[in-house]
Every structure is written in structure tokens, then in C-alpha cells.
Structure 1
Amino acid sequence: MSESLSGRFLGGAGGRYVSFCALYLFIYYGFGAFSPLITQYYKSIHLTGTQIGMISAVAPVVSIVAQPMWGMICDRFQIRKAVLLGTLLASGLVGLLFTAVSTYAFVFLLYILLSFFQSAIIPVSDSLTLNYTKKHQLQFGDIRMWGAVGFALAAFVTGLFVERWGPSVLFISYCLALITALLFLMRLPGEVTESSRFTVSIFKGMKQLLRIPRFLLFLLASFCMFGAVNANNIWFSLYYQEIGGTVAGVGLAFLLFAGSEAPFMKLAGYFVRRWGIETTLLGAAIFSAIRWFWYSSAPSTTAVLLIFFIQGVSVGFYLATAAQFVRENTPASLQVTALAVFFSVGSGLGTMLCNLLAGWIKDEFSTLAIYLFFGVVTTLGILPLLVIRFGPWKRVEQDEGVSATQ
């Protein structure tokens, strides 16, 4: 590429592409600094396990309510970029307020406020990026993977900072990362933010979806699977220290865990073609259950780090194939609704319940018992996957609608 062509690329379409990649890198850097290490802050202000569980359960509940509202605002006024700019700034500033509070009541209220703004960030950024990639015939995954890179790097780097300077540094890292993401968002022209509708009511078409046995079974499986996986992001920090690890070690563990997901996501396509999507999902869930039961036996921190790739096998495979399963097993006219319901049930309700019960289990028993609970929950999620794999119900034909499930 000549020098003039290279300059044009970086200043035009290439510059936008880089800005989108950086947007994801820093958004997820902020989340990676916050989520894996927030329990260190809770520990420093002496919250109980039940209190931590209650706070951690707030975000999914707020998201279920707030996401449709943000979507309606974006659709009604066609201001996706403005909404994302505002929520990135508000989220970063609210994050900083945590450094000034140390009581359960104030932390709980701040977390509600933070979750309200956070709930817009991922859906709106995904909407902008999907519009851009569709227009320019690019792969969404090639941009989205920078989020995984940012999350992994943040967990490691912030873990080192927290161990040296205390938990307040995680809020500073979170705020700076979102402000940096905002700066890259400002580089994107307005034309990539307008087009196609952003949201759909999750209740539209619910009657049809509830008549699809395979979809209902998968909702139950994902409720259990994602509930445990997402709750692990909150409780792993305390667990790792209980088995003898350090705060810096928590960051290293998340670096390895998150880093292992990308290659297994790439491999998931091969496994789906070779053994089918149902078998791939079933295998991922089985590995996940084995992981949690093994964690509950208090293995050494060295063993946990050495077998880091078990997250790639379980979470990487499941994440890479779950949305595909939903698309292939619901009518084309209801797939956006089906995906919204899937995320609300798995990442919303499942995470809420697992965090609530995990907090109570920690207070009544131990952190190790939390992972025994995760193993039991995930095992329950394997049962509907077995029915999907070996049961009588076949996949929905995209042009036939729900009648094909009967």
C-alpha cells in the first residue's frame, strides 16, 4: 500500500475501524477493571456475603427494566451516539463516587444508579457496530474480540494496582477507561449511528416462543449455565484468596481465563460442523460443571492457573454457539425477540438468583460451598440440554414458524 493510500485508509474507513476496535477495547477494559475486583472493595468496607449478593443481584434486575427504555429513546430520537456518549460519561463519574462511600445503603444505591447507565453501553455499542459492519461487509467478531482483550488486560493490570494501592484504584481505572472509550466514540461520524431499529419489545411474540419446546429447554439450561458463569466473575476474587492466592493472582487468573476464550470460540465452528451444535453445547456445560465441582475441592492456586483453559472449553464454546442455537431454533420473524429473552433469562435472572444465593451460602457455610452450589446448578442445566440432544423435538424450520416444533 502506498503512503498516500495508507494515509487515506487511516483517515477514512480504516480510521473508523480502528476507532470501533478501540471503543470495545476501552469499554471492556473498564468492565474488566471493575467486575473481577469489586469484591475487594466490598471486603475493605466489611460487607457481609448476603449484602454482596444483594448488591450483585441489582445489575441484572435494573438491566431488564432499563434496556428497553434506552432502546426506545434511541429509536424515537435516533440518537444512539449521543446516548452512548452520555452513558459512558455518567457511568465513569458514578464509578468514581464509590471512592467516597463506605456503607451498605449508599453502595447499594450507587450500584443501582451505575447499573442504570451501564445497561445502555453494551446494547447501544453493539447496535452501532453491527450497523457499521453490515454496511461495510465486515465481521462483527473481528471488532468484538478487542473487548475480550481489554477485559483480560484490565483484570491483570488492575489486580496489580489494587494489591499495591488498594481497591479505590479500580474505580479510577474504570472511569479513565470509559472516558478514553468516549474519546474514540467522538471520532466516529454520525452517519454510522443512524439506520435500522435498535430494539424490540421482549414481550412481542412471547406466545409463539413459549410453544417451542427446544427454546424453552434452552432457556432453562442457559439460566443455570450463565447464572453460575456470571456470578463467578463476582465471587472468584474472594474464592482465590481463600485457597491461598493474592489479589495480583486474581488479575493473572482472569487474564488467562478470558484469554483462553478467544481460541476456543474459533474452534467452536469446527466442533459444531463435526458433532453438531447440541453436542457442542452439552459438552461445554459438562466441562463447566466439572470445573465448579473441582473448584469446591480447594485445589492449589497453581493448579487453577495451569488448567486455565477449562474456561475456554466451557464458556468459550457455550458463548460462541448459544446465540446460533437460538437463531436456528426460533422462527426468523421472532429471532430478535428470542435473543432478547435469552439474554434476559440467562444473564439477567440466572445471574441475579445465583448471586443472591451465593451471598447467603458464603455467610452460612463458606466460599468453597458457593462453588459446590455452582456445580449443582450447572448440572441441573445439563438435564434440559440432554433432552434437547436426545429428545423428540426437532429444530424449527425458519420458513414454517412455530408449527414445526409440534
Structure 2
Amino acid sequence: MEASLASNRSVKLNFYMYYFLVFFGIGALSPLLSVYLRDDIGLSGSQIGMVLSISPVVMILIQPVWGIISDATKKPVTLLTIALVMTAVMGIVFSAVSSYALIIAAAGILAVFQAALIPLSDSISINYVKKTKMDYGSIRLWGAVGFAVSVLAVGKLSEMTGLSVIFYTFTFVMGIGAIFAWQLPRESNSIKVSFKKGMGELVKAPSYFLFLVIAFLILGPILANNFYFGIFIDDLGGGLAGIGLAFMLAAGSEAPVMKFANRWIRKFGMKQILLLAAAVSTLRWFLYFLEPPIGLVYATTIAQGFSTGLFIPAALQYVKDLAPVSAGATAIGLYSAVGNGLGNWFCTFLGGFILEFYSVFAVYFFFGCLSLAAVILLLFVKQKRTA
């Protein structure tokens, strides 16, 4: 019995350290990459948009491939470890290239391997959670902690040593993460879903496709903000340490809100919570367009908790409620592809051109207009009853 408890504690520790390190690595690279490309490499706004938009496009195309390979080999832990090692290697390769063409190539290859990390690790952890009745949220919480710690620490470190340190930190942390990934449990219970059959069922739920448009308009700006927020803070005079502080405050505000999200959904209704999240996003983006004082920006970063922290859990639940039971997996997969993939790509790509020809503040006006359109569309989606 004691040996079993010790084994469970060891597995939990591996999960905690894995998520902490992987999200620490993501937090080290993503927030400051746009600043590095502009200030150290000298790329234009449209070039930056092109580089940053590669990742969401690759994820749409490559994530299903990783899933197919995992299902075929039944070795998700081995694949995850290989992907982490290659992700770490590509971090160093990325730091060594300076021409636009090579940066595009490095970003594409990095995205191929990085696309495997979250889906494979989530699949492994969900399988383990189902087997042991453990709380999945307690595992993913360490990812949020890792990201919040990273953006502050690496921001300060970059200010002291230079922006290239983001790549060395990324590589080192992902390499250590591979050690913990290799020790994750090797259970694999894949669920095969017919996409064609699922789509046939979803056609019978037109409100679902309206909600896909809303997810595109809300999640696109939220995710693209991760790339442009650094430039925004830098142009307001916040510096690299200020970028880290702003990202830490924003990321840190999500977990407490998520903790109460389901309770609020039951109390106020799902549509009202979705409207609140969309409205908060809209107001935040329009505020940033007005070039507010840096202190006000820091104070309003907690809005991310009420936008991202509420919208993501409410949207996932809404999608599950809208879709027929037999098409649940297809509905969530398509929702993720449209919001996290297409929406992210569209806003990141066009944001680069707006940055080049206007300013980063105009990028946030663009984000605000998209989110406002989502608020209007939300008024037309049907209210879901909450249990």
C-alpha cells in the first residue's frame, strides 16, 4: 500500500514538473519573440506577422498527424519525449539564424515538433486521471504557474543579458522537460471518431456553426495578443522587464477566475458568462488602442482572467451542449481548429501588416472590432439551460 502511494506521488510529481517546465519554456519564448524579431533581427511588421502566424497554421495541419501516429504506435510517451528533444534543439537553431528565409524555415520546423506537446501530454494525463480519479485541474495548474513565473523571470533576465537568452532558456528548460516526459505513465486509451459521421450530425445543429464564428472572433485576438502584447508594452516604454510583469499579471489572473467559472455559469447562465467574457475582451482591446498610461495597462491585465478565464471553459461547455452526443469529439476538435488555429492565424497574420503600416495600437483596434462583432453575434445564439 505504501509503495503504491509512493508510486502515485512520484507520477504526480512528474506531471507537475512536466507541465511547469513546458509552459515555462513557452513563456520564455512566445511573449518576447516578436520583440526579438523586430529589435534584434530588424524584421518589418508584415514579416513578423508571417513568422508568428506559421505556428497556428502548422498546428492545424500537424496536430492530427501526431494523433494518428500516437494511435498507430500506442507510444505517446516516446513520441512526446522525441518531440520535446527536437523542440529544444530547434530553439538553438532558431537563435543561430538571422535571414528572413531561414527564420521562416526554423519557425516552421519548430512548430511541427511543438505542435505535439500539449495534445500528447493532455492525452496522457487525461488517461491517467480517468484511471486514478485524480483532479486534472491540479495537474494543468502547474502549467499556468510555470508560464507566470517564466514571463517575469525571463523578462528581467533579457533586460540584463539581451534578448537571445530567450532561446537558451527555452532549449534548456525543454530539454529538462524531456526527462520528466519520459517518466510519464504509458497507458494509452485512444478513442476513434468518424469525422464524416460527426460532421453529418453537426449539420443538424446550425447554432453550433454560428458559435464557431464567435469563437474565431474572440479567440483569434486573445491568442494573437500573446505575440503583439510584448511590442505593445515595449512601445509604451515598459521595457523587457515590464513585458514580463504584464504577462505575469495577465496569466496569473486566469487561474482564480477559472476556479469559479463553473459556479458562475450555473448561477448566471452560460450565455451571460460568454457575453461578459466577450465584452471584457472588447473593452480591453479598445482601451489599448487609446495608448493608455503603462500603469493603467498593468492594472487592467486582470481583465484577461475575466475574458480568457471565463470564455474558454464556458465555450467548451457550450460546444458540448450544442453538439449531438455522438459528435462531441468532432465538435470540440473543429471548435479548437477554428478558434485556436484559424482565428489565431488570421489575427496574427493581418496584425503584422497593420503593425507595419500603422502601429501596434491600430492592431488592438482591429482586435476590438472583431470582438465587438462577436458580442453582437452572441445575442443571436440560443440560451443553454444550466444544470
Indicate the TM-score class for this superposition, using the shorter chain for normalisation: over 0.9
Runs of 5+ unmatched residues, structure 1: 397-406
Could you tell me how far apart the structure 2 residues matched to 1:56 and 1:204 are? 34
Corresponding residue for 2:42? Answer: 46
- Write the distance in 1 (CA, Å) between the matches of 2:358 and 2:8: 55
- Of the three residues 279, 286, 292, the one matched with 1:293 is 286
2:311 corresponds to:
318
Q: How many angstroms does 1:201 deviate by? A: 6.1
Secondary structure of the 1:290 match is helix
**Equivalent in the alignment of 1:28:** 23
Equivalent residue letter for 2:275: L
Partner of 1:279: 272
1:317 deviation in Å? 0.6
Deviation at 1:202, TM superposition (A): 4.8
Cα separation, 2, equivalents of 1:201 and 1:299: 49
Change (3 A) 1:206 1:241: same
Structure 2 Cα separation of the partners of residues 198 and 179 of structure 1: 30
2:7 maps to amino acid = G
Matched pairs, number: 385
1:132 pairs, out of 128, 135, 139, with 128
* 1:229 aligned onto 2:217: no
Asked if 1 retains the 8 angstrom alpha-carbon contact of 2:278 and 2:371, the reply is: yes
Aligned CA distance change for structure 1 residues 373 and 201 (closer, same or farther; 3 Å): farther
1:385 corresponds to which residue?
378
* Structure 2 Cα separation of the partners of residues 277 and 187 of structure 1: 39
Partner AA of 1:132 in structure 2: Y
1:109 aligns with 2:105: yes
Pick the aligned partner of 1:15 from 10, 13, 24: 10
Measured in 2, the distance between the counterparts of 1:139 and 1:277 equals 23
In the alignment, is the contact (CA less than 8 A) between 2:284 and 2:303 conserved in 1? yes
**Match among 311, 314, 327 for residue 334 of structure 1:** 327
Unaligned runs of 5+ in 2: none
What's the CA shift string for 1:319-341, capped at 9, x where partnerless?
22221111111112111111110
The structure-2 alpha-carbon separation of the partners of 1:350 and 1:199, relative to structure 1 and needing over 3 Å to count, comes to farther
Shift of 1:278: 1.2
Q: Determine the C-alpha separation between the residues in 1 that align with 2:199 and 2:330.
A: 8
1:95 is displaced (CA, Å) by 1.0
* 1:403 match: none
Task: Return the offset for 1:186.
Answer: 2.3
Mapped pair 1:55 → 2:51? yes
Q: In structure 1, what is the Cα distance between the partners aligned to 2:213 and 2:122?
A: 25
Aligned to 2:84: 88
Secondary structure of the equivalent of 2:328? helix
Per the alignment, residue 142 of structure 2 pairs with 146
SS of match in other structure, 2:380: helix
Give, in angstroms, the shift of residue 8 of structure 1. Answer: 6.2
Q: Kindly indicate whether residue 357 of structure 2 is the aligned counterpart of residue 364 of structure 1.
A: yes
User: 1:111: how far off?
Assistant: 0.6
CA distance in 1, matches of 2:177, 2:207: 39
57-66 vs 247-256, which deviates more? 57-66
Q: What are the within-5 Å matches in structure 2 for residues 243-254 of structure 1?
A: 243-254=236-247
Aligned mates of 1:202, 1:306 — CA distance in 2? 44
C-alpha separation in 2, matches of 1:342 and 1:381: 15
SS of 2:253's equivalent in the other structure is helix
For residue 161 of structure 1, what is the aligned residue in structure 2?
157
Q: TM-score, normalised by structure 1?
A: 0.91
Contact 2:258 2:309 survives alignment (8 Å) = yes
Q: Which amino acid aligns with 2:20?
A: L
Contact 1:328 1:395 in 2 (8 A): no
| 1:199 to partner: Cα distance | 6.4
Deviations 1:220-270 (A, max 9, x none): 111011100010000011111111211110001111100000001112122
Shift of 1:39: 1.1
The answer to whether the Cα contact below 8 Å between 2:201 and 2:326 also exists between their aligned partners in 1 is no
Q: Give the deviation of 1:105 after TM superposition.
A: 0.6
- Measured in 2, the distance between the counterparts of 1:178 and 1:87 equals 10
Q: Given that residues 156 and 252 in structure 1 are in contact (C-alpha distance below 8 angstroms), is that contact kept between their aligned partners in structure 2?
A: yes
Secondary structure of 1:388's counterpart equals coil
Range 47-56 or range 381-390, more displaced: 381-390
Give the Cα separation in 2 of the matches to 1:32 and 1:229: 16
CA contact (8 A) 1:131 1:193 kept: no
TM-aligned CA distance change 1:345 to 1:12, over 3 Å: same
Contact 1:329/1:395 (8 A) holds in 2 = no
Distance in 1 (alpha carbons) for counterparts of 2:96 and 2:256? 40
Letter in 2 for 1:212: A
1:47 match: secondary structure: coil
1:200 positional shift? 4.4
Instruction: Compute the TM-score of the two structures, normalised by the length of structure 2.
Output: 0.96
Give 2:206's aligned amino acid: P
- The correspondence for 2:344, drawn from 341, 345, 351, is 351
Structure 1 counterpart of 2:111, which letter? S
Calculate the aligned-residue CA RMSD, in Å.
1.7
SS of 1:387 mapped into structure 2: coil
Q: Does the Cα contact within 8 Å between 1:68 and 1:201 map onto a contact in 2?
A: no
**Partner deviation per Cα, 1:243-301 (whole Å, 9 max, x = no partner):** 12111100011111000000011121221011111110111000100000001101111
Which amino acid in structure 1 is aligned with residue 263 of structure 2?
Answer: Y
State the one-letter code of the partner of 2:16. Answer: C
Question: Matches of 1:91 and 1:161 in 2, distance apart?
Answer: 22
In the superposition, relative to structure 1, how do residues 141 and 329 fare at CA in structure 2: closer, same or farther (>3 Å)?
same
